[in-house]
Amino acid sequence: MAKLTLRQAITEALREEMHRDKDVFIMGEEVAAWGGTYAVTKGFLEEFGEDRVLDTPISEMAIAGAATGAAMAGLRPIAEFMTINFAFVAFDMIVNHAAKISYMFNGQFTAPVVFRAPGGGGKQLGATHSHTPDIIFAHFPGLKVVCPATPYDAKGLLKAAIRDDAPVMFIEPVPLYTSPKVRGEVPDEDYIVPLGESDIKREGSDVTLITYGEGLWTCIEAADALSKDGIECEIVDLRSLQPLDDTKFVESFKKTNRAVVCEFGHTTYGIGSEVVALLQEKAFDYIDAPILRVGAAQAPAPYAGQLEKSGLPNAQQVIDAVREVM
């Protein structure tokens, strides 16, 4: 069992699935000769050839459209966007075509395409390149949305996404790609992590922290600090945003009676809003304190490093929220 970074786990998943299934191919801007913006597909052109690793024109609409058409024709394309911010350009093709094909044709067509999209802020890329718009894509039925936080989950979820017959938006938190704290053990053998299943990453008894993606590591840092003061946090990693598995965080909340939701997107109309709504619908009698949300500042991301950092969630904000609900 090797210790991999998040980026290495994604690369391994892609390589294994391309060897497993000849219908799987990769397309996107600079994915072939350059090896991908974040070097995820480095060496793939030499290994699999130009018929299965395709550099495309700089047109996200063309990438998403061609990938959707190829999927309808029986192939399993993996379409890479340089960043999820550019997926906005292909929005119509993703949510109005790929997501609806199977429904509109009564199952006669499927669109098993994976849209890989690096996302998140914190890299000083400016306001137009630093979105965490995950909730927007999760809003639309027919499109599955996944965001892993650990190498184990990244590999297993990506393999599951590639094998799924529905279109999947696979969001990869850029700040976690090579982060040393995220490096973790990944099995050598073939495995998948089912889409639509959340996971308890830490057992606790006093308060439930509900999060996903980069937020997991923020919550782990907060939980470690709070544990020194005798407050034990249970951490639920959503992993999939569509479909959203509420079973684990509802059961956890029934045990702790308190919750804080942490997301790196904006809290306005965010993932946390949906989680809070589900908790009050399914566990109203267990609420002992207001359920609080921690998220990005409701403002475009600044370019200056310290300003951008100040607008993103941090462990201290989670700690403060936990102390408030306690």
Kindly report, residue by residue over 183-236, the tens digit of the pLDDT: 999 998 899 999 999 999 999 999 999 999 999 999 999 999 999 999 999 999
DSSP of 108-171: S-----EEEEEE-S-SS--GGG----HHHHHTSTT-EEE---SHHHHHHHHHHHHH-SS-EEEE
| Spatial contact of 208 and 249, defined as CB atoms under 8 Å apart | yes
Q: What is the pLDDT of residue 22?
A: 97
- Number of domains composing the chain: 2
Beta strand pairing status for 144-146 and 184-186?
unpaired
**Backbone phi, then psi, for 292, in 5-degree steps?**
-105, 155
| Spatial contact of 77 and 113, defined as CB atoms under 8 Å apart | yes
Q: What is the pLDDT of residue 193?
A: 98
Least Cα distance to 239 among 199, 291, 271, 204 occurs for 199
Cα distances (Å, whole numbers) of residue 281 to 158, 250, 263, 274, 284 = 32, 10, 21, 11, 6
Asked if 23 and 167 sit in the same domain, the reply is: yes
Q: Which residues pair with 240 in a beta bridge?
A: 146
Asked if 81 and 141 sit in the same domain, the reply is: yes
Whether residue 194 lies inside any domain: the answer is no
Least Cα distance to 222 among 233, 211, 213, 238 occurs for 233
Asked if 142 and 40 sit in the same domain, the reply is: yes
Question: Domain end: 186, 208, 235, which one?
Answer: 186
Q: What is the pLDDT of residue 194?
A: 97
Asked if 131 and 165 sit in the same domain, the reply is: yes
Kindly report, residue by residue over 130-183, the tens digit of the pLDDT: 889 999 999 999 999 999 999 999 999 999 999 999 999 999 999 999 999 999
| Neighbour tally for 61: CB within 10 Å | 14
Beta strand pairing status for 233-237 and 207-211?
parallel
Q: What is the CATH number of the domain that holds 237?
A: 3.40.50.920
| Radius of gyration of the chain from its Cα atoms, rounded to whole angstroms | 19
Least Cα distance to 213 among 275, 138, 153, 284 occurs for 153
- Active-site choice (12, 17, 29, 60): 60
Least Cα distance to 314 among 232, 230, 211, 239 occurs for 211
Asked if 43 and 6 sit in the same domain, the reply is: yes
Whether residue 101 lies inside any domain: the answer is yes
Q: What is the pLDDT of residue 131?
A: 87
| Spatial contact of 206 and 233, defined as CB atoms under 8 Å apart | yes
| pLDDT for 305 beyond 90 | no
| pLDDT for 124 beyond 90 | no
Where does residue 202 rank: exposed (0-12), middle (13-18), buried (19+ CB within 10 A)? Answer: middle
Asked if 78 and 223 sit in the same domain, the reply is: no
- 78: region left, alpha or beta (phi > 0 left; psi from -120 to 50 alpha): beta
| pLDDT for 125 beyond 90 | no
Kindly report, residue by residue over 238-268, the tens digit of the pLDDT: 999 999 999 999 999 999 999 999 999 999 9
The rounded distance, in Å, linking the Cα atoms of 244 and 141 is 12
| The pair of three-digit structure tokens given for residue 142, joined into one six-digit string | 């027919």
Q: What is the pLDDT of residue 121?
A: 85
- Is 308 a residue of the active site? no
Q: What is the CATH number of the domain that holds 19?
A: 3.40.50.970
Whether residue 191 lies inside any domain: the answer is no
Asked if 179 and 206 sit in the same domain, the reply is: no
- Active-site choice (30, 129, 139, 197): 129
| 12-21, 85-94, 114-123: least confidently modelled range | 114-123
Asked if 179 and 312 sit in the same domain, the reply is: no
Cα distances (Å, whole numbers) of residue 7 to 42, 168, 177, 225 = 11, 18, 5, 28
Whether residue 192 lies inside any domain: the answer is no
The rounded distance, in Å, linking the Cα atoms of 132 and 273 is 15
- Is 139 a residue of the active site? no
The rounded distance, in Å, linking the Cα atoms of 92 and 103 is 16
Q: Which residues pair with 52 in a beta bridge?
A: none
Q: What is the pLDDT of residue 127?
A: 87
Average pLDDT score, the chain: 96
Whether residue 23 lies inside any domain: the answer is yes
Cα distances (Å, whole numbers) of residue 121 to 66, 172, 269, 274, 310 = 28, 12, 18, 22, 11
Question: Domain end: 136, 155, 186, which one?
Answer: 186
Kindly report, residue by residue over 87-112, the tens digit of the pLDDT: 999 999 999 999 999 999 999 999 99
Whether residue 130 lies inside any domain: the answer is yes
- Structural domain of 138: 2-186
Asked if 223 and 272 sit in the same domain, the reply is: yes
Whether residue 258 lies inside any domain: the answer is yes
The rounded distance, in Å, linking the Cα atoms of 42 and 22 is 19
Asked if 121 and 88 sit in the same domain, the reply is: yes
Question: Domain end: 164, 186, 208, which one?
Answer: 186
Asked if 105 and 30 sit in the same domain, the reply is: yes
Overall average pLDDT of the 294-305 stretch: 92
Whether residue 193 lies inside any domain: the answer is no
Q: What is the pLDDT of residue 46?
A: 96
Cα distances (Å, whole numbers) of residue 276 to 171, 207, 291, 320 = 23, 14, 7, 18
Asked if 311 and 182 sit in the same domain, the reply is: no
Q: Work out the pLDDT band at 18, boundaries 50, 70, 90.
A: very high
Q: What is the pLDDT of residue 161?
A: 98
What is the SS3 assignment for 96? helix
Kindly report, residue by residue over 42-78, the tens digit of the pLDDT: 999 999 999 999 999 999 999 999 999 999 999 999 9
